[in-house]
Amino acid sequence: MGQKINVAVLGATGSVGQRFVQLLEGHPWFKVNELVASDRSSGQCYGEVCDWRVSDAMPSSTRETRVKALGDRLESQIVFSSLPGGLASTVEAELAAQGKQVFTNASDNRMVPDVPLVIPEVNPDHLGLIESQRRNRGWSDGLIVANPNCSTIHLVLALKPIWEEFGIEQAMVTTLQAASGAGYPGVPSLDLIDNVVPYIGGEEEKIEHETLKLLGTVAGEHIASAAITLSAQCTRVPVRDGHLESVSLRLRKKAAIPQVVEALESFTGRPQALGLPFAPERPIIVRPELDRPQPSLDRNAANGMASVVGRVRECSIFDVKFMVLGHNTIRGAAGASILNAELLHQEGYLTAS
Ligand code: NAP
């Protein structure tokens, strides 16, 4: 590929924004060109204003970049949005109307009927909604594509091969979610150390609704939801990165545990077939040990882009149960958006306005 495509990161100083900056360093197709944050940060150099919390050093190429404000004109063709919910929907729609291709992590647009909510291995066919999105809104080059909530992504990656092979009637999931999922500074340390908080506002609804859209089918200009009864309970635990989820499923077709493991281990999708730069070789890694996956040991599997499943076994109430773990700011957020952008690039959706 010749010249790289310029990208802007909205919310660049936050937990997810910093991941974008880290992950895009040296990307073969995309180059960070603009960084946008609130009035607190705009007008100052990224290196001065960003309280960098990622283990690698801040890329030197961004250290001197002057942070823009939301109202400033953006030159970049691609916009990665990690803005807070509530603020994102208007801003993202305005940018798409200007011809920008917007990849959003915020929840605002995920359940909007003409916005594809995409995990590239799971439902790349949902990108077909872009045609009606552009037609309905009068956009020629602009578009909005969303990636799911950080727990939903790992849950649905694990559900997809089981859903395809055996069908799923009912699912129960209990999450143990890391502190960084609440952004920075997030949950006060005195609320989280030596504790588990059994409530994360809006999270259970997001998991329950987004999963059914992701596993649903294209029905003209919207997605018909998958027919699964799903119940989610969410907790915040004193872990830095990596959401762990306990999952129980009632299957449509009976399956022996080795068949379930085989379905998970052999699962690949469009990113692997296309050889996209951020595609993990295996989107799901199944660990055989009795005490895996664990956040501190497994969250960086395949550079944080794989979901790690373990303890696949029979369930005495439902049919099968297992644990799944994944990195919440990599495959659960910034890495997911980047993989979506790579897929659209490869599928010919990214055109300069
Ligand atoms: P965060 O750490 O609180 O960062 C928020 C970012 O938005 C900061 O860069 C902040 O800039 C900027 N911002 C806040 N108000 C703004 C305004 N009025 N105008 C312009 N910029 C503004 O949050 P986060 O965890 O990165 O989450 C960002 C988004 O991603 C949220 O929608 C969240 O739900 C979603 N998400 C997060 C995760 C996760 O694991 N953390 C996973 C998936 C999705 P300043 O520094 O200048 O204030």
Domains of the chain with CATH codes: 5-149+334-346 (3.40.50.720), 150-327 (3.30.360.10)
d(CA 37, ligand 1 centre) in Å: 9
- Close Cβ partners of 273 (under 8 Å, ≥ 6 residues apart): none
Mapped onto helix, strand or coil, the DSSP state of residue 330 is: helix
Long-range contacts of 210-214 (CB under 8 A, 24+ apart): 210/110, 210/111, 210/117, 210/148, 210/149, 210/152, 210/156, 211/152, 211/155, 211/156, 211/159, 211/171, 213/110, 213/111, 213/117, 214/117, 214/118, 214/119, 214/122, 214/123, 214/148, 214/152, 214/156
pLDDT at 277 over 60: yes
Question: Which pair of tokens denotes residue 269?
Answer: 């999708």
d(CA 119, ligand 1 centre) in Å: 21
- End-to-end alpha carbon distance in the chain: 19
Q: Is 54 in the pocket of ligand 1 (CB under 6 A)?
A: no
pLDDT at 341 over 60: yes
Q: Is 91 in the pocket of ligand 1 (CB under 6 A)?
A: no
Catalytic residues: 150, 243
d(CA 325, ligand 1 centre) in Å: 23
The pLDDT of residue 131 is 96
Residue the block writes with tokens 């197709």: 29
Ligand 1 pocket test: pick from 16, 48, 81 the residue with the most ligand atoms within 8 Å of its Cβ: 16
Instruction: Kindly report, residue by residue over 80-138, the tens digit of the pLDDT.
Output: 999 999 999 999 999 999 999 999 999 999 999 999 999 999 999 999 999 999 999 99
Task: Confirm if 83 and 11 have CB atoms less than 8 A apart.
Answer: yes
The pLDDT of residue 140 is 94
Q: Give how far the C-alpha of residue 101 lies from the chain's centroid of Cα atoms, to the nearest Å.
A: 17
Mean pLDDT of 229-238: 98
Q: Using 50, 70 and 90 to split pLDDT, how confident is the model at 351?
A: confident
Could you tell me the pTM of the whole model?
0.98
- Distance in angstroms (rounded) separating the CA atoms of residues 322 and 199: 22
Q: Using 50, 70 and 90 to split pLDDT, how confident is the model at 312?
A: very high
Taking CA atoms only, the protein residue closest to ligand 1 atom 18 is 38
The pLDDT of residue 1 is 60
Residue 32, amino acid: V
The pLDDT of residue 352 is 63
Q: Please tell me which residue, 207 or 350, carries the higher pLDDT value.
A: 207
DSSP assignment of 269-315, as one string? -HHHHHT-TT--S-SEEEE-STT---HHHHTTGGGGTSEEEEEEEE-
Mean pLDDT of 232-255: 98
